[in-house]
Amino acid sequence: MDWTLFQQLFVNGIITGSRYGALGVGFGLILGVTGRFHFAYSISYVVTAYAAIIAADHGVPLLPALVVGLAAGAVLAMLIEGFVYRPLQSSAPTMALLAIFISSLGLVIVGQNLIRLEWGSRSKLLDTGFTVEGLSIGESTFTSLDVVMVCVLWAVILGVWALIRFTQPGKMISAVRVNPEMARVVGIDSGRVYLAVFAIGSTVAGVVALLSAMKYAALPDMGGQPTFLAFVVAFLAGVGAGPLRAGLTGLVVGMAESLSGLWLSSQWSPVVVFSLLFLYVAVKPLSLGVTLPTIARRLRTAGAR
Amino acid sequence: MELHLSGQMLLLGIGEYHLDIFNQMLIFAILALSLNLLIGFGGQVSVAHSALAAAGGYGAGYLSAEYGVPYIPAALAGVGFAVLLGTAVSIPALRLSSDYVILLTLSLSTVFVTLLVSLPYFGGSYGLLGIEGVSVFGNEIIRPSEFVRILLPVLVVVFLFTWRLGQSPFGRLIKGIREDEIATRSLGKNIFMYKVALFAITSGIAGLGGVCLVYYSQLASPTQFSFDAVTTMIAMVIIGGMGNLWGSLLGAALVIVSRPFLEKQVNADPEQAFLLQLVIYGTALVAVMRLRPAGIIPEGASIKSGLIRLNRFVTRSGGPAAQTAAEAADAGLAALMARHAARPPSRPGASGEDISQVESAVEVTGLVKHFGGIRAVDGLDFRLAAGRITGLVGPNGAGKTTVFNLITGAIRPDAGVVRLNGVNITNMSPHGVARRGMVRSFQDVRTLPRLTVLQNVMLAVPGQPGENLGSLFFRFRHTARVEKEARDKAMETLRFVGMEGKLAFPAGALSYGEQKLVALARMLATGADVLLLDEPASGIDQSWLDPVLDVILQLREMGKTICIVEHNLHVVERLADWVYFMEAGSVTAQGTMKDLISQPRLAEVYFGNA
């Protein structure tokens, strides 16, 4: 085995894995609590990056611009939940999965192409606010932005974990996730909890989007790949899994994808993720899954509301 | 015919430009028809259709460009490759819920198109060039007006194929799966096999669409099969109308025509028009889902029903359909009441027979099922005497419904043996148990709401060659004859339960009591001898109670073995020849209802401490 290559791929694995983890945490929270197949996760992601870049272009200082971006993504997600998903759920609970997913597809197409029409298809870079330097440990190289990225992402993942674990709103979210009926009985307004979950989940995705816009650039279709990875990580972690588990699952997926470079050329790396997912789905019926009945129950009770 | 048609178009002054748009319409109509079969009829949401079309198109294109394979074998290979890919991906996903189908198909389309770009073999983002042209009798086909002569017949064949499938017993079955997998399975249908078959068929048609697209444009490029492409197909199906094949033709036409229309009317440049078009039908997707989920041409819409609706709209009368529904319901009830009055039900157990002398239809010994730490069923023994009604009563949570799930194979028991007519059926699949002659009803009826009453019952008839693709396409007359027999049988059972006045109503539009009768007719149509009824009397209107109970008693007279789980003890007393009392997962007492009621302890357990 090539030791030098291994070191570099290992470091790359930590960087991409942290991204995947955060994406999975955000989407997993939404899927686990609301049961909605929120494909428009991708559009919150793009809007966050673009809003921050446009604010910065208009002379807003970096930090407020980032906040503007995150807020735009979160508000958009809440609007989608309130004005698109919720009415669909209550008007046709039996076909809610299909209706929500298809509307979600429609929203992604609309959002992506409105951005293309308005700002063109060329990429836009977000300023980092500091000089990016090259660093190295042993034989591996990376940048100071990568270090910031990994630290910020894990801070966010731990933050979501702490929020759910220790705060009052977080406990309400857990209550709705674990037992929506009981939560209703004790007077928790699940509609508001859903909105909060959409806001939190999209903010987490938004942080990833901002970092990606700094490292690579923002593009109108930048949300596609991250959303796919968010879905994969959330399902691999198990629907309803907590943030730590989703984060670590993302790390494992990113690491597996990166380390596959030891044997495969990098163009095959998407196949690695797909194979992981495929294997998981193939062996899934063998283990007694607790995840799907949970979703089914959630959809039913949400419909009855 | 197509010659005539294209000739006519030229006469009308339609040039190559318009025919090009028409051809794109034809190709996308093929893709939309295939996707509609999957989403609209089968209820499976797949986002892999562009990847499957790419598999077909790139497969054929690669063989042609690299190895000079002629177009017919290359096209067939492309279609075959799409079928293989679609089947391979769907098999694991279809064993799980529809979330996983979305997840896996989404992953397939993301990964497959990424690979097409990144792998060195397929021309990267420019695409695959050098595909051999199509030629017929030595004449190379180049212009759109020539292609239309090939594409139009292909679309006609695909339409007839999908039409035949959709209207057949196979189509009825996959719609049943769409409506309720568990209910369809309980009627003896191997739903997994049908889902895979449907996925394979639609993958093949998608592959064919991809092949057409690649040969038509003489190019296989990633943009043709991008995520935008699959969203376009979904938009065509949703806007046109799910479950209606005409709708997909209309949807394909609308979506494709909108781009040149935008270019002309809005004076947008082609790039802008394309983006604008995506925005418009993205909005349309959201709007249709919200305002008219059935699409422009809803499922089951025909010219006739359209005229009726138009007529109603014009005359503004208060809904003739609703009136007839109420009238028909009254008629059905009246007929049942009349029969009930004419023939009062015989008293169960009146003969005072010794039930232990009657042979067993079903024997259950030592049945155990634990869920985590909860012992839902804990060493249960009971038997169903052939041709008698056996009751299963007990307090809530005693495990009665779990017993039905266990003995019909819906849940695997941890231990114990279930025998049906002496044969061990313990680990059989639910559809296997149903085919062997034991079927169940559900507490929450589970009729298939968007299928008509007649379709609900016809679906249950066993041994239909029309559910088999071979017979469906190669034994037309045999299939038609058996289909007629199935219809007769369904009518007969519907007459028996008094629902013959409602054949054409969607089952979901009926009252709860009526749905219970339809569910009963459905069980009868399976021809099973052992009927397990889960709360047949719960939740129905008092006026329907006597007719329903009467039907059950008549079933016993016909020699059926019946087991009822029921909370209403009066109902059990009227029906059951023998009653088992269940507590905490096992039988603690048995006898006639009269015996059991006279035991004060049981009454206390059942009704709680007074």
Give how far Cα B193 sits from Cα of A289, B86, B90, B165, B183, Å.
22, 14, 11, 16, 16
Whether residues B483 and B371 fall in one domain = no
How far B470 CA lies from chain A's nearest CA (Å)?
A: 29
Question: How far is residue B92's CA from residue A285's CA, in Å, rounded to a whole number?
Answer: 9
Last residue of a domain, one of B195, B221, B247: B221
Confidence check: pLDDT of B482 > 50: yes
Residue B552 lies in a domain: yes
Question: Tell me, what's the pLDDT at B471?
Answer: 86
d(CA B533, CA B538): 11
Residue B154 structure tokens: 């292909």
DSSP summary character for residue B506: B
Q: What are phi and psi of A58, to 5 degrees?
A: -90, 15
Q: Is residue B78 part of a domain?
A: yes
Using CA atoms, how far apart are residues A303 and A157, in angstroms rounded to an integer?
A: 31
Which of B107, B192, B266, B292 would best serve as a mutation to test chain A binding (most A beta carbons within 10 A)?
A: B107
pLDDT on residue B314: 58
Q: Look at residue B388 and tell me whether its pLDDT is greater than 60.
A: yes
Q: Which is nearest to A23 in space by CA: A194, A273, A262, A271?
A: A273
Confidence of residue B610 (pLDDT cuts 50, 70, 90): very low
Is residue B4 pLDDT above 70, yes or no?
no
**Contact between B115 and A84 using a beta-carbon 8 Å cutoff:** no
Question: Does some domain include residue B4?
Answer: no
Nearest to B275 among A37, A113, A268 (CB): A113
pLDDT for res A133: 86
**Residue to substitute from B192, B275, B281, B299, interface A, most A β-carbons within 10 A:** B275
C-alpha distance from residue B545 to each of B325, B517, B550 (Å)? 20, 11, 8
Contact A10, A261 (CB under 8 A): no
Q: Does B107 lie in the same domain as B197? A: yes
What was the pLDDT predicted at B304?
Answer: 65
Q: Do both B89 and B180 map to the same domain?
A: yes
In a domain, B295, yes or no: no
pLDDT attached to residue B305: 67
Residue in B92, B99, B118 closest to A282 by CB: B92
Mean pLDDT calculated for residue range B107-114: 88
The number of C-alpha atoms within 13 Å of B91 and in the hemisphere containing its C-beta is 8
Average pLDDT, rounded, for chain B: 86
pLDDT at B454 (0 to 100): 94
Q: Quickly count helices (H) and strands (E) in chain B.
A: 24, 12
The pLDDT value given to residue B299: 86
Is B603 contained in some domain? yes
Cβ of B278 and A113 within 8 Å? yes
Select from B288, B286, B339, B248 the least CA-distant residue to B40: B248
Residues B432 and B469 in one domain: no
In a domain, B232, yes or no: no
Is the same domain home to B35 and B145?
yes
**Ramachandran region, residue A288 (left: φ > 0; alpha: ψ -120 to 50; beta: rest):** beta
CB contact under 8 A, A95 and B293: yes
Is residue B41 a contact partner of residue B244, using CB atoms and an 8 Å limit? no
Q: What are phi and psi of A10, to 5 degrees?
A: -65, -45
Smallest Cβ–Cβ distance between B93 and the set A98, A113, A281 belongs to: A281
Q: Which of the four pLDDT bands, split at 50, 70 and 90, describes residue B1?
A: very low
User: Quick check: B234 and A97 CB within 8 A?
Assistant: no
DSSP string, B199-225: HHHHHHHHHHHHHHHHHHHT-B-GGGG
Instruction: Give chain A's radius of gyration (CA, Å).
Output: 19
Q: Please measure the distance between the N-terminal and C-terminal CA atoms of chain B and give it in whole angstroms.
A: 82
Does B164 lie in the same domain as B309?
A: no
Looking at chain A, which residue has its C-alpha nearest residue B289?
A99
Both B57 and B142 in a single domain?
A: yes
Q: How far is CA B575 from CA B152, B346, B385, in A?
A: 62, 9, 14
What is the least distance, in Å, from the CA of A271 to any CA of chain B? 7
**Residues on chain A touching B449 (C-beta within 8 angstroms):** 94
Residues B581 and B456 both lie in one domain: no
Torsion (CA) B129, B130, B135, B140 in degrees, nearest 10: 100
Residue B27 vs residues B34, B163, B211, B442, B592: alpha-carbon distances, Å: 11, 17, 9, 44, 68
Question: Are both B371 and B420 inside the same structural domain?
Answer: yes
Higher model confidence: residue A121 or residue B419?
Answer: B419
**B311: containing domain:** 302-344
**Cβ(B57)–Cβ(B31) below 8 Å:** no
Chain B, nearest residue to A239 by Cα = B99
State ipTM. 0.86
Residue found under tokens 């290359």: B74
Inter-chain touch B107–A109, beta carbons under 8 Å: no
CA–CA separation, B205 and B35 (whole Å): 9
On whether residue B245 sits in a domain, the answer given is no
pLDDT of residue A294: 46
Which of chain B's residues have a Cβ under 8 Å away from the Cβ of A278? Answer: 89, 92, 104, 107
Q: Which of B186, B221, B256 is the C-terminal boundary of a domain?
A: B221
Q: In Å, what is the CA distance from A133 to each residue of A57, A209, A218? A: 24, 21, 21
Say how many domains are in chain B: 4
Which chain A residues have a beta carbon less than 8 Å from that of B286?
84, 103, 106-107, 110
Angle of the A41-57 helix axis to the A3-34 helix axis, nearest 10: 110
* Whether residue B104 sits in one domain with residue B51: yes
**Distance (Å, rounded) from C-alpha B448 to C-alpha B179?**
5
Residue B35 has pLDDT above 90, yes or no: yes
Task: Looking at the structure, tell me whether residues B436 and B452 fall in a common domain.
Answer: no
Helices B49-67 and B71-94 sit at what angle, rounded to 10 degrees? Answer: 150
Candidates A109, A112, A276, A283, partner chain B, best to mutate (most B CBs within 10 A)? A109
* pLDDT reading at B324 higher than 80: no
pLDDT in tens, B424-452: 999 899 999 999 999 999 988 899 999 99
Contacts of A119 in chain B (CB under 8 A): none
- In chain A, the N- to C-terminal Cα span, in Å, equals 58
pLDDT the model gives residue A305: 35
Helix (H) or strand (E) holding A54: helix A41-57
β-pairing, B374-385 with B134-136? Answer: unpaired
Residues in chain A with pLDDT values less than 70: 1, 285-305
Contacting residues for A228 by C-beta, under 8 A, at least 6 apart: B106, B107, B110
Q: Are residues B86 and B112 in the same domain?
A: yes
Q: Is residue B269 situated within a structural domain?
A: no
**pLDDT single digits (tens) B554-574:** 999 888 999 999 888 888 988
Can you give the length of chain B in residues?
A: 610
Backbone angles phi, psi at A238, to 5 degrees: 100, 130
